[in-house]
Amino acid sequence: MKIFINRRIPEVGIKMLEDTGLEIFIPEHENLSHDEWMSYCKSHDAILSVGMDFKFDKDFFNECPNIKAIALYSVGFDHVDIKEANQRNIPVGNTPDVLSKATSDVAFLLMQAVARRASYNFEKVKDGNWGDFEPLHALGQELYGKTLGIFGLGRIGFEMAKKSKAAFDMDIIYHNRHKNEEAEKELNAKYVSFEELVSRSDVLSVHANFKPEQKELFNAEIFEKMKPDSIFINTARGGFHNQKDLYEALISKQIWGAGLDVTNPEPIFKDDPILELSNVCVLPHIGSATIEARNAMAKLAAENLIAFSKGQKMPACANP
Ligand code: DGY
């Protein structure tokens, strides 16, 4: 089985594939044209896909009929038409669990950074404006006992809720497709309607899997219903929020601040006005960017392909 890997992944995954006798190909550099990328996909049996270089839809599958398996180097699979893959019997592996702690750490980091106005204060220091001790200046807010609203209480949302409960004794409310019994039991999390989540959260943190029908779910109408002191955090997918509406909500003080590890569009444009705001922290989609998580993702992606090569079910499969 010939596997195309579009970007270099940690060595542990490469070694596992090679030790199993699988043939792998990784291009020397990444500045390839679309046609070059596609020519590699066409000439391989499986792809270990890093990032969002490919949209695995009907057109892709028609163009690359040799592709028999996909192993994503991500937990998210919003760039894959799963129905289409199912129809063609193509298993789609992903990397759940192993990045939940790292990704929720970033949500937790952003929550605190926004609450304590980190961007504003970093800029002051960089600009040589350390300033005198001013009792009324640069005041943030404390998170102790506040309400954390989790949109999408899966594995990552659970880890975010757990940390926030332990560190700040936050009250956890959540909105999800299904009730999360474990979170209700362990964290005293309360299931609420979407409307209640929006209106009650002091911090609203997005952790759901993105679906096209949820495109820009967080828009002007929703930001208007949030509390004026609230913080919006998105570490899931940029498509969840309308960035222009978020900008308006921030400058008009409808909400207190925002922390984003994902943007809309992504990457964010250098001149996006939201980057000028002092009540916003933006990171370049680094949720899973720890040595530990990235190694574990490489291992799991390799395990998925090795299982497939042996005619077995992938251990982490996005197909139902
Ligand atoms: C994931 O694993 O889905 C991360 O967001 C990287 O795409």
Domain ranges in the chain are 2-98+290-309, 100-282
Q: How confident is the model at residue 147 (pLDDT cuts 50, 70, 90)?
A: very high
Q: How high is the pLDDT of residue 302?
A: 98
How far apart CA 16 and CA 8 sit, in angstroms, is: 14
pLDDT tens digit string along 184-216? Answer: 999 999 999 999 999 999 999 999 999 999 999
Residue whose structure tokens are 């954390």: 148
Three-state secondary structure call for residue 280: strand
Distance 72 CA to ligand 1 centre (A): 9
Span 94-105, pLDDT tens digits: 999 999 999 999
Active site amino acids: 237, 266, 285
Q: What confidence score (pLDDT) does residue 29 get?
A: 83
| Residues 225-275 pLDDT 10s | 999 999 999 999 999 999 999 999 999 999 999 999 999 999 999 999 999
Amino acid at 215: K
Q: pLDDT of 167-188, one tens digit each? A: 999 999 999 999 999 999 999 9
- What is the reported pLDDT for 142? 98
Whether 126 contacts 132, CB under 8 Å? no
For the CA of 99, the closest atom of ligand 1 is 2
Q: What is the pLDDT of residue 175?
A: 98
CA of 75 to the centre of ligand 1 (A): 5
169: left (phi over 0), alpha (psi -120 to 50) or beta: left
Residue nearest to atom 2 of ligand 1 (CA): 74
76 lines ligand 1 (CB under 6 A): yes
Q: Which residues have C-beta within 8 Å of that of residue 111, sequence separation ≥ 6?
A: 143, 148, 164, 203, 205, 231, 233, 259
Over residues 139-156, the mean pLDDT reads 98
Residue-level pLDDT at 2: 97
Q: Whose CA is nearest to atom 6 of ligand 1?
A: 74
Strand-by-strand arrangement of the 69-72 sheet: 23-25, 2-5, 46-49, 69-72, 92-93
Q: What is the mean pLDDT of residues 4-17?
A: 97
Burial letters 228-251, b for 16+ CB under 10 A, else e: eebbbbbbbbbbbbbbebbbbbbe
- The confidence score (pLDDT) of residue 108 equals 99
- pTM equals 0.97
Does domain 100-282 correspond to CATH entry 2.60.40.1930?
Answer: no
Whether the pLDDT of residue 31 is over 90: the answer is no
Question: Which one-letter amino acid corresponds to residue 311?
Answer: G
> What H or E segment, with its residue span, contains residue 234?
strand 231-234
Does residue 82 have a pLDDT over 90? yes
Q: Whose CA is nearest to atom 1 of ligand 1?
A: 74
Per cent of the chain over pLDDT 70 is 100
Find the 69 Cα to ligand 1 centroid distance in Å: 19
pLDDT of residue 30: 78
Thinking of the domain 2-98+290-309, which architecture would CATH place it in? 3-Layer(aba) Sandwich (3.40)
Q: Is 288 in the pocket of ligand 1 (CB under 6 A)?
A: yes
pLDDT of the residue at 213: 96
- DSSP-assigned states of every residue in 183-230: HHHHH--EE--HHHHHHH-SEEEE-PPP-GGGTT-BSHHHHTTS-TT-
Task: Please name the residue whose Cα sits nearest to atom 3 of ligand 1.
Answer: 76
Q: Which of 50, 75, 266, 290 to mutate to test the pocket of ligand 1 (most atoms within 8 A of CB)?
A: 75
> What are the tokens at 311?
């005619």
Atom of ligand 1 nearest to the CA of 77: 3
* ipTM given for this complex: 0.95
Q: How far apart are CA 251 and CA 249, in angstroms?
A: 6
CB within 8 Å of 180: residues ≥ 6 apart = 153, 154, 158, 174, 189, 191
Confidence bin at 320 (pLDDT 50/70/90): confident
Average pLDDT, stretch 313-317? Answer: 98
User: How many whole angstroms separate alpha carbon 20 and alpha carbon 169?
Assistant: 48
Identify the residue whose tokens are 């929720």.
104
What is the rounded average pLDDT of the residues 61-89? 97
Report whether pLDDT(38) > 90: yes
How far apart CA 8 and CA 109 sit, in angstroms, is 27
Q: At what angle do helices 291-309 and 11-19 cross, to 10 degrees?
A: 20
What residue's CA is closest to ligand 1, atom 7?
74
